[in-house]
Structure 1
Amino acid sequence: MTTTAAHPHTDPRAEPVDPAALAGRLNWLRAGVLGANDGIVSVAATVVGVAAATSETLPVLLAGVAAVVAGAISMALGEYVSVASAADSQRSHQIAEDEVLNPWHAAIASGFSFLAGAVLPMLTILLAPTAARIPVTAVAVVLALALTGGAGAKLGGAPVRRAVIRVVAGGILALGATYAVGAALGVAIG
């Protein structure tokens, strides 16, 4: 009688998964979670840094819009180049065409998920009262990162707590750094 040890994160009753389908799903998941997290963190860090330097709304709005546009394009292009290179390698190893990663799918998922993630910090920083916009944005960002980090881990079958801690810690570090720089420049220039 042969027994196999089950992976600790898998359900023994789960249906078998086609490796090519799983790779495709995980590729979309990775691109989507990375894009959303990057949209949340990079746009929040940008607008918090500018808001720390000035109480005026227009510079915060302009910097935020520039960060959203540049970030979405950069994420989509970066994802396309990365996945296209991997697909070229797969083809050179004669992997079946239906199993080759699609760079367009990854680019679209990454770009749109960046935009989706960027909406939260933009709306929060612009709609919150001026005196509270930085702490309100920081709290909203931490909650959003906990949700995306947890959802990504859950969908990918990874430990949720570790993923949430990792993504939230990175977000807090980015917000703290840009706040400090913005506050220092605001004092120096103002």
Structure 2
Amino acid sequence: MTERATPTTAPDEPHDEAHEGALGTRLNWLRAAVLGANDGIVSTAGLVVGVAGATADREALLTAGLAGLMAGSMSMAAGEYVSVSTQRDSERAALAQERRELRERPEAELAELAGLLERRGLTPEVAREAAVQLSERDALRAHARVELGIDPDHLTDPWHAAWASFLAFTAGALLPLLAIVLPPSGWRVPVTVASVLLALTCTGWTSARLGAAAPGRAVLRNVAGGALAMAVTYAVGSLLGATGV
């Protein structure tokens, strides 16, 4: 951080930050995609296995699976769109306020930026010089990144988030749907359970690695949660099927 703030290396800062920000954004999107696929696997598997406990009719299983897939993917997309739209509105409001403050009291904002850099470990002299150079280059971008943690050139896009959630959930949901309708009647539940647990092992491991965490516990939690969901829904479906409900 100190090297970037010195006059000799300050011109390289936007380039470095852009790469770091882009990498962080890609990792966040990838992690969200993995978790979305995981949700699709678990929710659809629980649904179709529950129906399989009540009936062996392929058409009923296919209808239930497709309905669950569409309902889940649309719900995920709508929820993500609303959430990210709210975040984007907040970012825009914060940038508008910062732009207004820079216009009305530039000296106070310069001192504030220097103080923020100083709290990050720079000496007062270096922090002041860095604040001046960053402000001369692009004061709004400097305050957005240092003070607000926002990249004004890469605000969150609610449509991208919605489509990503829709596709991730759909991709995950297709696995249990195909596993329950393609095999012969006696193999449907075992094949679905085995394929789902294998897929959950992969998504648990991937999400843990993306988060720089140990994969063992993440995989165990993921697999245990999916197995519990399928066991409960299968038991409920079997009970309803036996009672003729």
- TM-score under structure 1 normalisation? 0.85
The DSSP-based 3-state class of the residue aligned with 2:153 is: helix
Q: Report runs of 4+ in structure 1 exceeding 6 Å deviation.
A: none
How far, CA to CA, are the matches of 1:134 and 1:164 in structure 2?
22
Distance 2:84 2:17 in 1: 26
Question: Deviation digits for residues 126-152 of structure 1, max 9, x if unmatched?
Answer: 112211211210111000011011112
SS of aligned partner of 1:93 = helix
Task: Say yes or no: does 1:90 pair with 2:91.
Answer: yes
Instruction: Report the alpha carbon displacement of residue 102 of structure 1 after superposing the two structures with TM.
Output: 1.8
Partner of 1:170: 225
Structure 1 residues 32 and 141, CA gap change in structure 2 (3 angstroms)? same
How many Å apart are 1:157 and its aligned residue? 2.1
Superimposed CA distance per residue, residues 21-59 of structure 1 (whole angstroms, 9 cap, x where no aligned partner): 244223312320121011111111111000100111111
CA RMSD of aligned residues (A): 2.0
Q: Note closer, same or farther for the CA distance 1:44–1:113 as it changes in structure 2 (3 Å cut).
A: same
Q: Are residues 1:118 and 2:170 paired?
A: no
Contact 1:34–1:110, Cα closer than 8 Å, also in 2: no
- The CA distance in 2 between the partners of 1:101 and 1:24, in whole Å, is 10
Give the 3 Å change call, closer, same or farther, for CA 39–169 of structure 1 in structure 2: same
Largest Rg, 1 or 2: 2
Call closer, same or farther: CA 1:16–1:154 in 2, change over 3 Å: farther
Q: Is the aligned partner of 1:161 residue 2:162?
A: no
In 2, Cα distance between the equivalents of 1:132 and 1:96? 52
More helix by share: 2
Return the alpha-carbon distance in structure 1 between the equivalents of residues 17 and 213 of structure 2.
18
Amino acid at match of 1:128: P
Encode CA deviations 1:88-139: one digit per residue, 9 max, x unaligned: 2222222443242222222111110111111111111111221121121011
Q: Which residue of 2 aligns with 1:127?
A: 182
How many angstroms apart in 2 are the aligned matches of 1:52 and 1:36? 24
Alpha-carbon offset, residue 16 of structure 1: 8.5
Deviation of 1:19 (Å): 4.7
Residue identity opposite 1:65 in structure 2: L
User: For 2:229, what is the secondary structure of its paired residue?
Assistant: helix
AA of the residue aligned to 1:63: A
Name the % identity: 54
Which residue pairs with 1:76 in the alignment? Answer: 77
Alignment of 1:46-85 (within 5 A): 46-85=47-86
Once the two structures are TM-superposed, the CA of residue 78 in structure 1 deviates from its matched residue by: 1.0
Is 1:136 aligned with 2:187? no
SS of structure 2 residue aligned to 1:168 = helix
Alignment match, 2:107 = none
Aligned counterparts of 2:93 and 2:232: Cα–Cα separation in 1? 43
What secondary structure, in the 3-state scheme, does the structure 1 residue paired with 2:37 have? Answer: helix
SS in 2 for 1:44: helix
